[in-house]
Structure 1
Amino acid sequence: MKSIFRVLIVAAAILAAPMVQSIALAEEAFCTCRYCESAAARAAFGVDLGNDGPHYAPIREVDIQHIKLDITPDFKKRTVGGTTTIRFVPLRKPLESLKLDAVELTINKVEGSSPVADFESTNSDLTIAFEKPIPVGQEAWVSIEHHCEPKGGFYFRTAELGYPEEDTHCWTQGESHYARQWFPCFDYPNEKSTTEVICHVPLEMTVVSNGRLLGESVNPDTKLKSVHWLQDKPHVNYLICVVAGYFDKLEDKAGDIALGYYSQPTLSKYAANSFQDTASIMKFYQEEIGVPYPWHKYDQATIRDFLAGGMENTTITTLTHNTIFSSETENIRSSRGLDAHELAHQWFGDYVTCEDWSHLWLNEGFATYYTHLYEGSKFGRDATLYGLYKDAKNRVLSSGARDHRPIVWKRYSNAGDQFDFRAYPKGSWVLHMLRSQLGDDMFRQAIQAYLARHGLTTVTTPELQAAIEETSGRTFDRFFDQWVYHGRHPDVKIRYRFDPKLSLAKITLEQTHKVEDDVMMFHFPATFAFLCDGEVVLHTEDITGPKSEFYVSLPSKPTMVQFDPEYTLLATVDFDKPEELWVAELENSKRAIGRIFAIEALAKKKTNKGIEAIAKALESDPFYGVRIEAAQALGKIGNDDARQALQQVPAQEDARVRLEVVKSLVRGYQPEMVHQLIAGAQKEKNPAIESAWIAGMAKYSDPAVGQYLRAALKKESFRNEIAESAVEAMIASGSPEYVADITAELKSNSENYTNRGVVKLLSGLALLSDDEEQSRKTMDVVTPFVNDPRTDIQKAAIIALGQLGVKEAKPILQSFAETSNDEELSKAAEGAITALDKDRNLKPAEIVELRKQLKELEKSSESLEEKVKDLQKQLEATGS
């Protein structure tokens, strides 16, 4: 019963105090490249290749030398047509027919330098038969006239689709196999060629593509502008890019390299924020990599509702429009990481490209790692290690413990399966461990040799290993076998004892993970640091088996004992040592990573001494990451001493730290804090931090909270961040009193919300509408949105109709389930019908009475927690 669900949601919100953080806040670090843990999201970047065994790069029958695209996008019909000319040379044997990837393309005409006997087009490919076989080594060409209404690969953003008219544009996305959806091609990364694009658009529009601009002209008959681009160095097919439409442009230079930044007119006044680091990143990469930027220019273009964070097309990176941010959020919002990641790809992924998707880490691992290196160049070594720490903690160690697939994995069913933690953060960690073992200089020499030998070609992992081994003069077979060709990471358990008579430290180190066919026993160097009389003693032991015991002679009893002080090993570590040694590490560790590990350990102990040490670190540690982790630790501890420490912390200049302090302060259920929440939000000028205060209000039914949330709906902020946070808090409260407010926003103010915000409004109405009368009224508000031009909003409206439980919505839902051409919408409608068909009218008198009691309870804070607990017991007694 819907009403029961709402009762339980409200009770849970009050008792468990869930923190429903603003989605905008959750996007402090924008999605990097195409990485995502979601299987559905990963699938969006790869065609289904089946489950029938390992996948290898396809055999090339020809060497494609040049691709010329002459295209005309139709922004009204959302179609694209044109002519693709492919110049090629047959390999190994005379070519009787040429097979190209071509998904749902209408092929109008095919011509060639060698007479074409016939051609056949299916939903997936185009086969061109020649009258006579083309001899091996003889250059030839085919010219294909085609047209399509693309389902993917080529995307339009127009007013008819719900976007601002002045932002009208189109863009392409090739990786992994989507170029084939708008032009015929050999669509796999083991082929490189030069490319050429001629695009015809209305006069006021801009066209950006790969390489260098050859010129522009106007056709007096069509009144269209023709823009001609040439990429004269070979690159793979998926990196071909066209961006066309209304853009504002900013310009810069990095040495002799021209930098262009294109953004939508409605966002362009904020665009400089997002591109402020590009020149600096370019300079650092050229120095660090030791290979000059290999292309003619570097452009970046934001595009509306991109599929992920960004795409490193050769010389023209496309970026989500969400990377643009307002300076009001200080350093909480940043495009620096996304900018650095995509620019690193111009070397790793574009100049040297993985030959097949099993070796994707050669693209993504490098881009991820060099992003961390740039962060370190800008903010110090601790910044690099902190980025690696967050990757390990939040992505690799948790995912890798349950997912034992190796980095190089050929048994994927979908190329998108490879775009996960293994290619990105784990690949980055592999490079970090290599650099740690080789040393900075030798690592740089190896990477320079790798790029020099394989520039403008495709590679697999053995090519990287060979460059490292030739440079260093040592074998890395075991390293690559355990980290790249096998899965997981080591679980390390460490025990330390000190013998004062002999002045010996005894270390016992065990690998406790399960060794299986796909997980090896790891071999690695283990370094320990001992602080004795103010001097650090280092000892490194080669770990080769499941258990190692060794002794270290020391001049005196150490006051600090650290494992892996420079953070060079990807592992889950359980280090059992006395609290005073953790406190000493928090106070004395040279690297911030040691101080962070100390905070983790002390937070688990929850002693007064540990809380005091963490609070001191929050107040005065020189590295912002340590202060962030300290604030989070105190919030998780959550007792009176921890809360008091958070209350008393001096004002933090770094907005990222202030944000974490607020998020930790608003954890839990503390009725006495209501007015502090409101006061904190009222005086806050940073919208991201104000949103954190607002998120904390969701647990309280105080009238002052409702008044603040309603006022926040009318408060202006970039991308309506504050209003959307208020909506999320209203939804999290579970209270139907906000239905009228959300309804008013949908009816009269939805144009000021992002797509995500409108989705929140729709789903919130469905959740909060309590009784049958209210649900019917809400249905009238929601129904118009099922025809919204934006698919995500259509889907949200369809789902909301199912959740409302109003039977009259069924014919509407059936129409989508039966006739929608969009599979996603039809599936959503089918699910909504299933939800609707459930009996939602069972309302025993006991439950009705409980609802009345809960409504009264929401109006009073007296004995709130005890009363809700009693209501829960009554609900359980009814069997509901």
Structure 2
Amino acid sequence: MKSFRIAFLVAVCLLTAVAHHSLALAEEALCTCRYCESASARLGFGVDLGDDGPHYAPVRKVDVQHIKLDITPNFQERTVGGTTTIRFVPLRKAIDVLKLDAVDLTITSVEGSTPVSEFDNTSKDLTIAFAEPIPVGQESWVTIKHHCQPQGGFYFRTAEMGYPEQDTHCWTQGESHYARQWFPCFDYPNEKSTTEVICHVPSDMTVISNGRNLGESIDPRTNMKSVHWLQDKPHVNYLICVVAGYFDKLEDAAGKIPLGYYSQPTLSEHAANSFQDTASIMNFYQKEIGVAYPWHKYDQVTIRDFMAGGMENTTITTLTHNTIFTPATENIRTSRGLDAHELAHQWFGDYVTCEDWSHLWLNEGFATYYTHLYEGEKFGRDAMLYGLYRDATNRVLRNGANDKRPIVWKKYRNAGEQFDYRAYPKGSWVLHMLRSQLGEEMFREAIQSYLKEHALTTVTTPELQAAFEEASGRTFDRFFDQWVYHARHPDLKIRYRFDPKLSLAQITLEQTHKVDDDVMLFNFPAKFAFLCDGEVVLHTEDVTEAKHEFYVALPAKPEMVQFDPEYTLLAKVDFDKPEEMWINQLENAERATGRILALEALAKKKSNKAIDAIQKSLETDPFYGVRVEAAEALGKINSDESRAALRKTATPNDARVRLALVKATVGDYQPEEVSTLLQGAQAEKNPAIVAAWIEGLAKYSDEPVSQYLRASLEQESFRNEIAEAAVEAMRKSGSSQYVPDLAEQVARHADNYTTRGLASLLKTLASLSDEKQEKLQSLGQIAPHLNDPREDVQKGAIEALGKLGLEEARPILQAYADASHNDQLSKAAESALATLTKDSTPQPTELIELRKQMQDLEKSNDSLKKKLDELEKKLEATEEKKD
């Protein structure tokens, strides 16, 4: 064993020496050879060796019945400590070892109902050995004392971190596997238990958690408040949540269900805007789903600089503080969609939970679809279908065209890869197609049965399929196979001809996508609507082949032929029809989606007749979404006639349409219209629309525009929206004339900017700085923000240093690249160094690549050395034990 250790050390040293020697030779000679590139290929530098699955839910050796957390967050040191008690029962066979997930936790003691003989914690887990095996079915417990300064899972927002002191708070985020970073647990969604939280905070703070508040008390000696929460129905580990700090609260109710809305004191005056729909959403879901809200209460809490939009923790949803808005933006800003999505999760994701991440769509697809259903409940069916249209067009059809991954996919490298368009909008569309085929009542029956049968458990997709089959009495094997277990969507080419002698419509429908092992030939009902002398004739064909041709007898030649009139099929459709038919569809289609599809086709025609029809729709269509799409269609045409049509359109009352009209108006370069555009911008009061004007004016260098952008930097608006839009416009302009103005903002007004806005300000200042002296001055202003306690600002400062292109920034960036305490900042620094190297004095590609390889090798050697040291210690301990 000792000889192996010596040989191993020699190998490491030789590998390092060879690499350093190669770099020395490279700097002298690699200008004229390709050795570096070929060596990189042979040695495998930079190859991602991560686990690519397939991934399955881990086998449960015990049934976790209850988790009790007794914790104390320290806001000054940003640490959390306490005890975790886990009550469990062994399954199938006796256990003498219990292994828990525990990342970078310091474990100070472990006790159990069965004596603990030993425990060991690494940077990833905690292993507990019992003095004797615990038999199957015997209820047992362990109590673990621990503390940590968490790098994830548990977060603080304090004055020392750059936040208002009166907004001080902390919170937890468990999904997907982050709870293990602040307490030991079985951190996977196929385990459910009841939970309990006791949290100790200063007496003037508020604590919110899952379930029921059992009470609170204040210790007069320490002036610390203890708040006790109990979640008495089982839920998965990632849904455990604790939020503590200073909050203002609004209260409401949906029937007997108490609703609480918590927000930071500096934002609370506007909080009511964000939560105005919650009670209505709750009432609708209970009626639509057919299962009563399954928990005791429902709270929503805003979080400063939350990493996502929201998180559906059981009975307590955490939300980004950006969900709060003011009435100044009229109907452009709304929290309704986020509110509806997270509330739907209380049934789909919390009450019934996906067993592993390959079935994530059972959580996210449902939450996305029921958000659309609520939109339809509140504003009509067109509103629901418009949401589905935007999801299909902007996300599924675009992202899924070249993606061979199905919805249920087990070969992910990490759980985060599953949180994409497949789980959210495509999963939603699968449910919409099922509802369209079954009908609303049968769909509700299936969903109600699914939830009741699997209440408070975890599920996989076959359980949902079984519910639909039981309710309908038909098989859905093919449907789930093509839409859920295989990738993509159909591409359809549709052609129409009319035989006037026989009064027959001839339809040819062809599936043109490539069919292979990953993508099936689709089987679906194809629906057509024919408008003949004011009468609508409906016809449905079951498509089962690659090419399907059929005839439909009609009373007269149709003025309109529409495919999928109710918008029930997820597909990319190429339907070549005469312009007149598209205009008739724009004027006569019952559903807004049919009219929107007509707008898409007419925008490609670009004729004066098409432009007139689109402009008429922009002014007169009864549904706002059609008017929005009409404005966008005119903007895409980009002709003198389309611009004239935009200019003659009356200013819409609906702010959403007005915003679309502004974006279309300023989209093209129109130097002769600068004065008119500037007048429009200065007349607008809605800050969201002002921001759109500002963005569009970025392409003009006229002095009045420059003055307007400078003045916009000083204009007050909620969350600094207008000033931050001006910064973005200055960046897009590419003009160094704004450097003094940006420098002034950094020096005197940095506190006015949001976290993201300040990062953007720093990067814009860097990218516009021109001469060497100006760059050095900007370096002096950017560098201090490397010490900002907010990670996103630090990353912005690091990226800005890369954009400066100064060699003086290299040592600073290298220090961050070499640091191991924060992977995100280290990666940002490496990327900035690459940018800096690319922009500096040209060097041979081979030399740059070899330097990168050396950096990777040095990191690998550090890791190797740590593993070797650990191995040596274990060997020495083993040898001492033998002696």
With structure 2 as the length reference, what TM-score do the two structures score? 0.89
3-state SS of the aligned residue for 1:201? strand
Instruction: Name the counterpart of 1:675.
Output: 675
5 Å matches for 1:541-690?
541-690=541-690
CA distance in 2, matches of 1:90, 1:403: 42
Deviation of 1:804 (Å): 1.8
CA distance in 1, matches of 2:839, 2:452: 68
Instruction: Name the counterpart of 1:233.
Output: 233
CA distance in 2, matches of 1:771, 1:199: 55
Spell out, residue by residue over 1:761-819, the C-alpha distance to the aligned partner (whole angstroms, 9 max, x if none).
Answer: 11111111111121122222222112222222222222222322333333333332334
Contact 1:49 1:415 in 2 (8 A): no
CA distance in 1, matches of 2:807, 2:190: 55
Deviation of 1:156 (Å): 0.7
Contact 2:52 2:412 in 1 (8 A): no
Sort the Cα spacing of 1:371 and 1:838 in 2 relative to 1 into closer, same or farther, 3 A: closer
Instruction: Name the counterpart of 1:870.
Output: none
Instruction: Name the counterpart of 1:130.
Output: 130
Establish whether residue 308 from structure 1 lines up as the match of residue 313 from structure 2: no
Q: Which amino acid aligns with 1:710?
A: R
Superposed structure 1 runs of 4+ greater than 4 Å apart? 837-842
5 Å matches for 1:473-488?
473-488=473-488
Instruction: Name the counterpart of 2:298.
Output: 298
Instruction: Name the counterpart of 1:718.
Output: 718
3-state SS of the aligned residue for 1:593? helix
Establish whether residue 824 from structure 1 lines up as the match of residue 824 from structure 2: yes
3-state SS of the aligned residue for 2:541? strand
Deviation of 1:413 (Å): 1.2
Contact 2:304 2:320 in 1 (8 A): yes
Instruction: Name the counterpart of 2:170.
Output: 170
Instruction: Name the counterpart of 2:195.
Output: 195
Contact 2:305 2:755 in 1 (8 A): no
Instruction: Name the counterpart of 2:772.
Output: 772
Contact 2:618 2:628 in 1 (8 A): yes
Spell out, residue by residue over 1:607-641, the C-alpha distance to the aligned partner (whole angstroms, 9 max, x if none).
Answer: 11111110000000000000000000000101111
CA distance in 2, matches of 1:838, 1:300: 47
Establish whether residue 262 from structure 1 lines up as the match of residue 262 from structure 2: yes
CA distance in 2, matches of 1:159, 1:438: 55
5 Å matches for 1:709-788?
709-788=709-788
Establish whether residue 506 from structure 1 lines up as the match of residue 498 from structure 2: no
Instruction: Name the counterpart of 1:84.
Output: 84
Instruction: Name the counterpart of 2:387.
Output: 387
Instruction: Name the counterpart of 2:32.
Output: none
Instruction: Name the counterpart of 1:414.
Output: 414
Identity %: 75
Q: Which amino acid aligns with 1:178?
A: Y
Sort the Cα spacing of 1:454 and 1:621 in 2 relative to 1 into closer, same or farther, 3 A: same
Q: Which amino acid aligns with 1:821?
A: H
CA distance in 1, matches of 2:442, 2:793: 53
Contact 2:806 2:840 in 1 (8 A): no
CA distance in 1, matches of 2:237, 2:98: 17
Q: Which amino acid aligns with 1:572?
A: K
Spell out, residue by residue over 1:352-408, the C-alpha distance to the aligned partner (whole angstroms, 9 max, x if none).
Answer: 000111111000000000000000000000011000000000110111111111111
3-state SS of the aligned residue for 1:488? coil
Contact 2:388 2:429 in 1 (8 A): yes
Spell out, residue by residue over 1:709-767, the C-alpha distance to the aligned partner (whole angstroms, 9 max, x if none).
Answer: 11111111000111111111112111111111001011001100111111121111111
5 Å matches for 1:136-285?
136-285=136-285
CA distance in 1, matches of 2:589, 2:125: 60
CA distance in 2, matches of 1:484, 1:392: 16
CA distance in 2, matches of 1:289, 1:826: 47
CA distance in 2, matches of 1:225, 1:687: 42
Contact 1:494 1:510 in 2 (8 A): yes
Deviation of 1:838 (Å): 5.0
Contact 1:68 1:86 in 2 (8 A): yes
CA distance in 2, matches of 1:837, 1:449: 61
Q: Which amino acid aligns with 1:642?
A: S
3-state SS of the aligned residue for 1:378? helix
Deviation of 1:827 (Å): 2.9
CA distance in 2, matches of 1:667, 1:140: 67
Deviation of 1:830 (Å): 3.3
Contact 1:816 1:825 in 2 (8 A): yes
Instruction: Name the counterpart of 1:872.
Output: none
Spell out, residue by residue over 1:80-129, the C-alpha distance to the aligned partner (whole angstroms, 9 max, x if none).
Answer: 00000011111111121111111111111111111111111111111111
Q: Which amino acid aligns with 2:316?
A: I
CA distance in 2, matches of 1:447, 1:72: 41
The root-mean-square deviation of aligned C-alpha atoms, in Å, is 1.3
Contact 2:85 2:141 in 1 (8 A): yes
3-state SS of the aligned residue for 1:402? coil
CA distance in 2, matches of 1:836, 1:599: 46
Contact 1:196 1:231 in 2 (8 A): yes
Contact 1:506 1:551 in 2 (8 A): yes
Q: Which has the higher contact order (CA 8 A, sep 6+)?
A: 1
CA distance in 1, matches of 2:421, 2:199: 37
CA distance in 1, matches of 2:837, 2:267: 44
Establish whether residue 454 from structure 1 lines up as the match of residue 423 from structure 2: no
Q: Which amino acid aligns with 1:776?
A: L
Establish whether residue 74 from structure 1 lines up as the match of residue 74 from structure 2: yes
CA distance in 2, matches of 1:817, 1:400: 35
Contact 2:310 2:318 in 1 (8 A): yes
Q: Which amino acid aligns with 2:142?
A: V
Deviation of 1:49 (Å): 11
CA distance in 1, matches of 2:553, 2:839: 74
3-state SS of the aligned residue for 2:584? helix
Deviation of 1:52 (Å): 5.2
* Number of residue pairs matched by the alignment: 795
Sort the Cα spacing of 1:411 and 1:812 in 2 relative to 1 into closer, same or farther, 3 A: closer
Gaps of at least 5 residues in structure 2 are 1-47, 843-883
Instruction: Name the counterpart of 1:853.
Output: none
Sort the Cα spacing of 1:544 and 1:632 in 2 relative to 1 into closer, same or farther, 3 A: same
Q: Which amino acid aligns with 2:381?
A: R
> Which sits farther off after the overlay, 400-409 or 769-778?
769-778
CA distance in 2, matches of 1:806, 1:411: 42
Sort the Cα spacing of 1:516 and 1:325 in 2 relative to 1 into closer, same or farther, 3 A: same
CA distance in 2, matches of 1:779, 1:50: 37
Instruction: Name the counterpart of 2:429.
Output: 429
> Which sits farther off after the overlay, 799-808 or 290-299?
799-808
Instruction: Name the counterpart of 1:326.
Output: 326
3-state SS of the aligned residue for 1:184? coil
Q: Which amino acid aligns with 2:614?
A: I
Sort the Cα spacing of 1:50 and 1:760 in 2 relative to 1 into closer, same or farther, 3 A: closer
With structure 1 as the length reference, what TM-score do the two structures score? 0.89
Q: Which amino acid aligns with 1:438?
A: L
Deviation of 1:837 (Å): 4.2
Instruction: Name the counterpart of 2:795.
Output: 795
3-state SS of the aligned residue for 2:443? helix
